[in-house]
Structure formats: structure tokens, C-alpha cells
């Protein structure tokens, strides 16, 4: 006879290794290990328009925000790049020529060569260990002085944990809102949809259902296959992980990834350490490097000759000095330290096409001075994939510590802005009914990112076009005039000099005077 637990304890389904348990508050998930997570959607500054000083300021503010986190706290920043195919309907164009021009533009926009990136920040907290909480709970008493029952102690402990986490959630939202252009806290449905998207190739909204069922059982709908050729459903999966940093980092150093013409998940996870814990770990690193400044043969020679040798390992001395400088930063509380893991996950139904994409990712990251590894080749793809799941702080932990300032430089805090999703003028058709009017035009920025062009900020749509002769100003204005006719009952008046706008009114069937 064989014991059944030997087999029943082994994971047989992706749900067995996912962390999520239940929704316990608005936008908050309780994990199976008693940790809590919440998620924000955000957008950082655009490097094409932000100044160098602005980027430095954002990184400094991020450093100040993260360095106060200690043991038990962690977060994940998830940049999801996906094809952009939501070109608006052209049903309101009143003439065939304007409609045909827009259909030609639609054909190009929906070929899958344009991509948009959405950014998520997931904050997690693992409360003190159960035995520590139980020990503290032993001293809790009711108002009448009687010691509380075990059930009441546990209930109050959990409520205290949740209250503390909700306070930190509000602080995070306020801090991000002061730093970044756009911040939005996900509600229950948005949070479940986001969690589902990280483990599935099927994109669709998810609404809260039966609260008695664990989320790790109801959200998975795609099988996960491991091995040297891992797959998520029918898609082959490749994962590139950052293993080593360059000697220096700058704000937005990995912004190139925001402009790549492919779909991916770029996940940055940071597990925070207390000041005392970080200092202890850094001292250990400093001792290891300092003890390696001399080889065994050099030490043996010194013992035999009874004289100190001048031969020392310069790399060991330099690294020991770096560790000493890091300890000084920790003591001054200028930065915090934690365990940094950054992976980029790419999916494709064609393994050859996937390999081409992975090599392109490696070239971009390695070209900036980073060192990367291919997790599938190392047989670590499943662990790396699980480490990129929101709320998972156990899998694929990379032990070298990274400061909060280097983290602020390497995380996806910058973005390529794709413009407003609809016309912001409330007087336009549809806006009063909340089925918003689309932006004025769909164009391209950053090579592969679409840009939704609209001159309106509220009900003000003033604009000026400036450029050298022959740069295309007249062409742009003619296109803008033609595309404006997408709005129901739109009227266009042109004051033309030189006859550069004669053709559009003619093809619309409009009238012109001289």
C-alpha cells in the first residue's frame, strides 16, 4: 500500500500554486498565505516630452515613497503591452470620400503593428507570523477586563491587519497621484479582470461571483505546461530575467521596452527589507568580498614568509567598498534595500517567432549594460512565471539586493502616452449619454504606439501648427479637416490662403468662395 498524501500534496493544476483566496474589502484580495494585495493602474511621464529634471524628480519621489517600506511589504509593477485595434467606427462620415479615407486608415491601424502599454502597481503585505500575532493577542482583553476568546482575538487581529493595509493603500494612492499624471485604484471587477489576464490568454471582463469560492480556483481557464518548452494554453512562452545591473543607472533607463513592436508582460517585483535586516545582509556581503581580497596561495605565502603581500584582488576590494558605501546609505536612511526581480514574458503561437522576439528583447536590455538570462533554457520558466503573478513573493526570488533609487530608475515608471480615449468636450455627440465621441484622429507615435489626437481640453479646442516650409502643415490640416467629419452633424469652415485646402471641400460636396 502507498500513502495518498504523497500524491495529493503535489500541485496538479495551476490553481494549486496561485496565491489568491478571497476579496475581503473593496479592491483588496486576501491571499492563501494571509497576505493582502491591492492594485492601482497608472501612467508615468512620457520621455519624449518630459525634461531631464522632471524625470530625476519623479525618481527621487519614488525613492522616498519606497524606502519607508520594511519587512513584510512588497510590490509588483506590471507593464502589459498589447495590440491596439480599437479604431473607432466611421458610421457618421456624411460623404463617401471621407469614409474611404478613414477606412484606409482603419485597415492600417488594425493590422496588429501598433501596441499600447498599460501599467499596474500591486502592493502586498504579509502580516506578522501567526505565532507572533497569537502571542500578542493573548494580552488583549475585553472592555470588562476579561481575556478575549481565541475566535474574538483572531477576528480582531485580522481586522487590525486589514485596517492597517487600507490606510497604507490610501497613502499610496495619494502619493502616486501627486507624482504621476494618471492614477486609478482598481475596483473589485477591474482587479479580478487584471488578475485573470496575468494567467490567461483569453481577454474578457470578470465580475465578482460566489464569495465562498477561492479565486485561485475560479479565475484560471488556461493550462500551464512546464519543461524546456513551456506553454500557456496554445501559446509558447519565453521569459527573459534581469540578472545583473550596469555600473550606473539613470531615470527611465529601460524606456526602450515601451516602444517595442510586440506584446509582452514586463514585471518588476521588489521585496522590501527593514533597515536592520538590510544592514545585516549588507555587512555579510561586505565581509565576504573583503575576505576574498587575497587568494589562498597569497595567504599561505604570507604565513610562510611572515610578511604581508601587496597582491590583492582589486574587484573584491571595489565590491567591499561598494557594500560599505551602501551601509552608509542605509544608516543615513537615504535609500532602502530589498530583493529585486525583473522579468519580461512573451507569448506566441509560433515557437520560431517567439525565439525572434526573445532575442530582440535580450538585445535591447543587454545593450543598456544589463545581464539577462533565458529562464526556459535554464529550466526555470515555471518558477519565473509564478514569480510574475501579482501577490506572489515566494517564487523566483533574486537574492542580490537593490536600492530603492536603482529600483526607481529600472522600473517602468515612464511611458509613451497614447492620448485621450475619447473627445473631452462634453458638447460633442454622445458625451452626454456616456457613449463618448472618439478622438479627432488616430495617428502613430514612438514608432509602434498609436496616438489618439484631440485638440480639446474640456470645451477648449484651440491649436496652432508651426513648421518649416514643405514640412506637411497643409497636408496635416487637410487630414484634420477630413477626419473631423467623423462626428455626427459636424461642420467645417476653412479660411484658406494660397489654395492649399481646395480639394477637401470639393470632394465633400461643399461650397467655396474666393
Cα–Cα distance measured from residue 244 to residue 247, given in angstroms and rounded to the nearest whole number = 9
Length of the chain: 514
pLDDT by residue (tens digit) across 228-245? 899 999 999 999 999 999
Inform me whether the pLDDT recorded for 1 exceeds 70: no
pLDDT at 54 over 90: no
Task: Give the pLDDT confidence of 323-333 residue by residue, as tens digits.
Answer: 788 788 888 88
pLDDT band at 446 (very low <50, low <70, confident <90, very high): low
DSSP alpha helix (H) spans, 48-187: 52-66, 96-109, 130-137, 150-179
Cβ atoms of 193 and 215 within 8 Å: the answer is: no
Q: How many CA atoms lie within 13 A of 492 on its CB side?
A: 27
How large is the average pLDDT for residues 390-410?
Answer: 89
Q: How far is CA 501 from CA 90, 352, 507, in A?
A: 22, 49, 11
pLDDT reading at 4 higher than 80: no
Q: What are phi and psi of 236, to 5 degrees?
A: -70, 145
Q: Confirm if 449 and 116 have CB atoms less than 8 A apart.
A: yes
Least trusted range by pLDDT, from 58-62, 148-152, 268-272: 148-152
Give the burial class of 497: count Cβ atoms within 10 A of its Cβ; 0-12 exposed, 13-18 middle, 19 or more buried: exposed
Distance separating alpha carbons of residues 418 and 450, to the nearest angstrom: 6
Which three-class secondary structure string do you get for 388-443?
CCCCCCCCCCCCCEEEHHHHHHHCCCCCCCCCCCCCCCCCCCCHHHCCCCCCCEEE
As a whole number of angstroms, the distance between CA 377 and CA 396 comes to 15
- Please state the domain extents for the chain: 13-85+116-273+336-410, 282-331, 431-508
Q: pLDDT tens for residues 144-155?
A: 555 555 556 666
Could you tell me the pTM of the whole model?
Answer: 0.87
Amino acid at each position: 500500500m502507498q500513502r495518498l498524501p504523497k500524491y495529493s500534496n503535489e500541485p496538479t493544476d495551476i490553481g494549486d500554486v496561485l496565491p489568491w483566496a478571497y476579496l475581503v474589502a473593496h479592491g483588496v484580495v486576501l491571499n492563501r498565505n494571509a497576505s493582502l494585495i491591492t492594485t492601482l493602474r497608472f501612467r508615468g511621464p512620457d520621455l519624449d516630452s518630459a525634461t531631464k529634471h522632471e524625470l530625476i524628480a519623479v525618481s527621487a519621489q519614488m525613492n522616498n515613497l519606497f524606502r519607508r517600506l520594511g519587512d513584510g511589504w512588497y510590490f509588483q509593477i506590471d507593464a502589459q503591452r498589447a495590440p491596439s485595434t480599437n479604431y473607432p467606427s466611421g458610421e457618421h462620415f456624411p460623404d463617401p470620400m471621407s469614409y474611404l479615407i478613414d477606412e484606409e486608415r482603419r485597415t492600417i491601424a488594425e493590422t496588429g503593428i501598433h501596441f499600447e502599454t498599460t501599467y499596474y502597481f500591486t502592493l502586498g503585505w504579509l502580516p506578522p507570523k501567526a505565532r507572533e500575532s497569537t502571542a500578542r493577542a493573548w494580552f488583549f482583553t475585553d472592555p470588562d477586563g476579561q481575556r478575549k476568546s481565541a475566535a474574538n482575538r483572531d477576528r480582531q487581529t485580522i481586522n487590525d491587519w486589514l485596517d492597517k493595509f487600507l490606510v497604507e493603500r490610501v497613502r499610496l494612492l495619494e502619493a502616486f497621484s501627486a507624482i504621476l499624471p494618471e492614477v486609478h485604484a482598481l475596483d473589485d471587477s477591474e482587479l479580478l479582470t487584471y488578475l485573470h489576464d496575468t494567467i490567461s490568454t483569453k481577454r474578457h471582463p470578470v465580475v465578482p461571483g460566489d464569495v465562498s469560492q477561492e479565486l485561485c480556483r475560479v479565475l484560471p481557464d488556461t493550462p500551464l505546461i512546464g519543461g524546456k518548452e513551456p506553454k500557456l494554453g496554445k501559446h509558447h512562452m519565453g521569459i527573459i530575467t534581469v540578472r545583473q545591473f550596469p555600473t550606473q543607472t539613470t531615470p527611465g533607463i529601460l524606456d526602450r521596452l515601451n516602444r517595442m513592436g510586440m506584446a509582452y508582460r514586463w514585471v518588476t517585483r521588489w521585496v522590501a527589507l527593514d533597515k536592520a535586516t538590510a544592514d545585516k545582509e549588507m555587512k555579510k556581503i561586505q565581509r565576504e568580498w573583503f575576505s576574498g581580497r587575497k587568494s589562498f596561495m597569497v595567504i599561505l605565502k604570507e604565513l610562510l614568509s611572515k610578511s604581508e603581500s601587496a597582491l590583492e584582488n582589486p574587484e573584491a576590494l571595489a565590491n567591499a567598498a561598494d557594500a560599505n558605501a551602501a551601509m552608509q546609505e542605509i544608516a543615513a536612511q537615504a535609500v532602502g534595500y530589498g530583493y529585486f526581480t525583473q522579468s519580461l514574458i512573451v507569448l506566441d503561437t509560433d515557437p520560431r517567432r517567439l525565439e525572434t522576439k526573445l532575442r530582440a528583447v535580450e538585445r535591447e536590455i543587454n545593450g543598456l549594460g544589463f545581464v539577462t538570462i533565458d529562464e526556459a533554457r535554464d529550466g526555470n520558466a515555471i518558477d519565473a512565471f509564478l514569480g510574475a503573478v501579482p501577490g506572489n513573493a515566494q517564487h523566483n526570488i533574486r537574492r542580490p539586493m537593490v536600492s530603492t533609487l536603482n529600483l526607481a530608475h529600472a522600473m517602468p515608471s515612464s511611458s509613451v502616452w497614447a492620448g485621450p480615449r475619447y473627445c473631452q468636450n462634453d458638447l460633442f455627440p454622445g458625451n452626454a449619454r456616456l457613449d463618448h465621441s472618439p478622438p479627432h484622429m488616430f495617428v502613430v507615435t514612438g514608432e509602434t504606439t498609436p496616438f489618439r489626437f484631440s485638440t480639446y481640453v474640456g470645451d477648449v479646442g484651440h491649436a496652432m501648427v508651426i513648421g518649416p516650409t514643405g514640412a506637411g502643415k497643409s497636408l496635416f490640416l487637410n487630414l484634420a479637416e477630413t477626419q473631423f467629419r467623423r462626428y455626427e452633424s459636424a461642420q467645417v469652415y476653412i479660411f484658406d490662403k494660397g489654395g492649399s485646402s481646395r480639394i477637401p471641400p470639393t470632394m465633400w460636396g461643399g461650397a467655396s468662395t474666393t
